[in-house]
Structure 1
Amino acid sequence: MSKNTSRVPAYRLLTQLAFLALVTTAAIRHQLLGGGPDGSASIDALCPFGGLETLYKFVASGGFINRLYYSDLVLLAGTIALALIVGRYFCGWICALGTLQELSRKLGQRLFRKRHFVMPAVADKPLRWLKYLVLLGTLYLTWQTATLIIRPYDPWAAYAHAFAGLGEMWAEFAVGASILLLSLIASVFYDRVFCKYVCPLGAFLGLTTKLGAFRIRRETDACISCGLCEQKCPVNIPLMRRDVIHSAECIACLGCTTTCPTGKRGTEHEGKSFLHNTLGRFKVSPGWLATLGLALFLGTLGAAKLAGVWQTSPATLTEVVSTDGALDPANIRGFMTLSEVATTFHVDLDTLYRELGFTQDKVPPDTPCKAIRQKLGVSETEFDTQRVRDAVARLRQPE
């Protein structure tokens, strides 16, 4: 195994932790600063699956599903480019939810002395199809309703809102938080449970990868059948049974090709592994493939910023609360102040206060909707942003 190849697992871990830190920082900033024109991007605007969810509406009308922007389409384009060239690199190197699951698995390996758990085939095989059903169901319902219908069930959205407090996360994302917690617990024993069985983005990228150039090839006459590649594979691909691996499940982590012992120092074939990464007809070292994937992804984002199409937040509050050009009280966000709500929806501020049942002395007009309960000294179950939405909806009803 060459020195370059031996360093790839460490490079991968550093890359994963860097992207996890970036999106976690973005989530924290959004909770501290809020969204809107003067705030920080929400996690919804930083998700490639959001691009797929809003694609139908964008093509049909040039608009976006609420909470989604050009950044989602750029990220979608970047992940598709990766899938067509270097496989599911996004899943194996960039996706923060995948990284959280891998960290859970590393904890499990320490707790259980690196014991290798494998899901029984009788459960594993049918469960693999579940993510494709989730993909089809999510896209159908999202495109039919033009809303982020999956959002309450999204474990990544739940993670991002954990920094607003467990109470708020549980109130809005009880199902998503449960899926996140169960996925992380299950990943202590089994690698990447959510990725293998539930993730709709993984399902989409897996199908896209089947059209791409990335393959793993095994020289069967030289393979020593040690089985280390299969033990290292986080998605349990039966590598020993195939000469060419072009599986939709492969996340391009390169664990198999960097683990293969046939090219290690002191062996007959030092520096030459018999498990190869290939792009079309060309063999590519793990180090070069890792670099190419990162360059493609960051290059896509950089080109979008230079072209001026990287947008992660709305230009005005009117854009925040509008649905198909009409003001919609259901879109009022927790970061909006009562004054901003009244101005944006053209309702009298004093009338809004009367409708809500408290005074400006107790809750100043510059109070964000999500902070009203602290001013009132009540729990979230007693007052939340939905109360403001309902009040504005009542005030805007024709008499």
Structure 2
Amino acid sequence: MPDQLVTLRSPGEGEAAPAASAPAARWQNPYRRLPAVRWAVQAAYALFLTVTGWEFWRFYEQAAAGEPLTVARPPAVEAFLPISALVGLKRFVHSGQWDEIHPAGLVILLAALGTAFAARKAFCSWVCPVGTFSRALEWVGKKTLWRRGRQLVVPRWLDLPLLSLKYLLLAFFLWIVWVQMPLEAIDGFMKAPFNLAADAKMLLFFQGLSAGAGVVLGVLVVLSVVVKHFWCRYLCPYGALLGLASLGSPQRVVRDPATCNDCQACTRACPAQIPVHRRASVWTAECTGCLSCVAACTVADCLTVNRRAKQGMSPWLVPAGALAVMLGAWACARLTGHWHTALPDELLARVYQLAPFLGH
């Protein structure tokens, strides 16, 4: 991989580059619409979570003020409580008891792990709102900094140590929760006022963003414009966990070296900087299952899923599998009573009133 800025007169994500031969030029990639469909799915989830955040803010304001509640607390807000979900997962594994305080958070964590097995890290590339925001920043970078095809490629000597950061963060959280905290401490944490009001604390953090936190977020935004998916690629421990889980997935992008014309459109389209054009099989924890490489391929049946050429499965089944796992987990949780918190609104109102004064 080049260690400097490279000039690429290349197609955008999902576009097919003109090939040298006439037959190849007439061929149209049947999966070229994958990036557009991915935008639609990401936008739908982003809209859903925006509405969820709005409803939770209204619920919090009424509950914290002691007013009559005219809105319900949306359980999906627990998607933003990964630490609580990780603690709940350990308790469930060791005791078989489901988290009754933030049950939806545990459902979403297990569903995300399920998508990692069914469709690699498609949760990151098709569902996660942070991934959607990161992709939007990548688009901004293409339209501003890299308009003439120039794109920053992080040199390998720097890329590898940066990649290790999210795994180190994941190891830290796993060590604290899964090694250092006995089951008694887990029970104590889950029943503590801080965990009861974790969703409110999360809301208050963004409402009263400190100058330091604002600077950090601003730096991450700028870096994500310059470098593709900087947060997701280098710092997200949730993505690191899903990446490790995805190594057990039977799904993978497969390249046929016999038909490959070495145009490198697949590698340029990959948000994870994977050198797809040099891999016979893309089996790495960094693959997000976005299928941008498949959409950008310029040769028929060169990039397929699971098997080569016409024996490969349809790439559309990858996002379909991920969405089926997510929606199936939600439906099962609703039917079995594992979606809504068992905490009464009166108790939530009391802990929300204390939330501004609660520490870890």
* Alignment TM-score, normalising by the size of structure 1: 0.68
- Cα offsets for 1:309-362 (capped at 9, x unmatched): 2125723544x59xxxxxxxxxx644x3xxxxxxxxxxxxxxxxxxxxxxxxxx
Q: Distance in 1 between matches of 2:217 and 2:200?
A: 8
Q: Distance in 2 between matches of 1:43 and 1:124?
A: 34
Q: 2:298 aligns to what? A: 261
Q: Distance in 1 between matches of 2:216 and 2:111?
A: 27
Q: Distance in 1 between matches of 2:308 and 2:112?
A: 19
Q: 1:106 aligns to what? A: 139
Conservation of the 8 A alpha-carbon contact between 1:45 and 1:312: no
Conservation of the 8 A alpha-carbon contact between 2:115 and 2:321: no
Distance 1:245 1:137, change over 3 A: same
- Cα offsets for 1:62-113 (capped at 9, x unmatched): 66889x5111221122112211121111011000001111101111111120
- Cα offsets for 1:27-57 (capped at 9, x unmatched): 2221222187964237761248343342123
**Rg bigger for which structure?**
1
Conservation of the 8 A alpha-carbon contact between 1:48 and 1:75: no
Conservation of the 8 A alpha-carbon contact between 2:75 and 2:340: no
What SS does the corresponding residue of 1:214 show, helix, strand or coil?
A: coil
- Cα offsets for 1:113-145 (capped at 9, x unmatched): 053211121211111111111011123224536
Distance 1:306 1:167, change over 3 A: closer
Q: 2:302 aligns to what? A: 274
Unaligned stretches of 5+ residues in structure 2: 1-26, 64-68
User: CA offset at residue 237 of structure 1?
Assistant: 0.7
Q: Distance in 2 between matches of 1:19 and 1:287?
A: 18
Q: Which of 18, 21, 45 is the aligned partner of 1:19?
A: 45
Q: Distance in 1 between matches of 2:72 and 2:285?
A: 38
User: What does 1:89-100 correspond to in 2, within 5 Å?
Assistant: 89-100=122-133
Q: 1:5 aligns to what? A: 31
User: CA offset at residue 14 of structure 1?
Assistant: 0.6
- Sequence identity (%): 27
Residue 211 of structure 2 corresponds to residue 168 of structure 1: no
- Give the AA of the match of 1:278: N
Q: 1:28 aligns to what? A: 54
Distance 1:229 1:158, change over 3 A: farther
Q: 1:195 aligns to what? A: 232
Q: Distance in 2 between matches of 1:215 and 1:132?
A: 22
Q: Distance in 2 between matches of 1:19 and 1:313?
A: 26
- Cα offsets for 1:209-243 (capped at 9, x unmatched): 11111111111111000011010000101112211
Q: Distance in 1 between matches of 2:158 and 2:345?
A: 49
Distance 1:238 1:312, change over 3 A: farther
Q: 1:315 aligns to what? A: 344
Distance 1:141 1:234, change over 3 A: same
Conservation of the 8 A alpha-carbon contact between 1:48 and 1:73: no
User: What does 1:28-177 correspond to in 2, within 5 Å?
Assistant: 28-34=54-60, 39-41=72-74, 45-47=78-80, 49-50=82-83, 51-60=85-94, 69-112=102-145, 113=147, 114-143=149-178, 144=181, 146=186, 147=189, 161=203, 168-170=208-210, 175=213, 177=214
Conservation of the 8 A alpha-carbon contact between 1:214 and 1:280: no
User: What does 1:215-294 correspond to in 2, within 5 Å?
Assistant: 215-263=252-300, 273-278=301-306, 283-294=312-323
What SS does the corresponding residue of 1:6 show, helix, strand or coil?
A: coil
- Give the AA of the match of 2:157: V
Conservation of the 8 A alpha-carbon contact between 1:229 and 1:259: yes
Q: 1:377 aligns to what? A: none
Q: Distance in 2 between matches of 1:208 and 1:202?
A: 10
User: CA offset at residue 20 of structure 1?
Assistant: 1.2
The size of the alignment, in residue pairs, is 308
Q: Distance in 2 between matches of 1:304 and 1:167?
A: 30
Distance 1:4 1:302, change over 3 A: farther
Q: Distance in 1 between matches of 2:290 and 2:29?
A: 18
Q: Distance in 1 between matches of 2:200 and 2:286?
A: 25
Conservation of the 8 A alpha-carbon contact between 1:229 and 1:255: yes
Unaligned stretches of 5+ residues in structure 1: 264-272, 322-331, 337-368, 371-384, 391-399
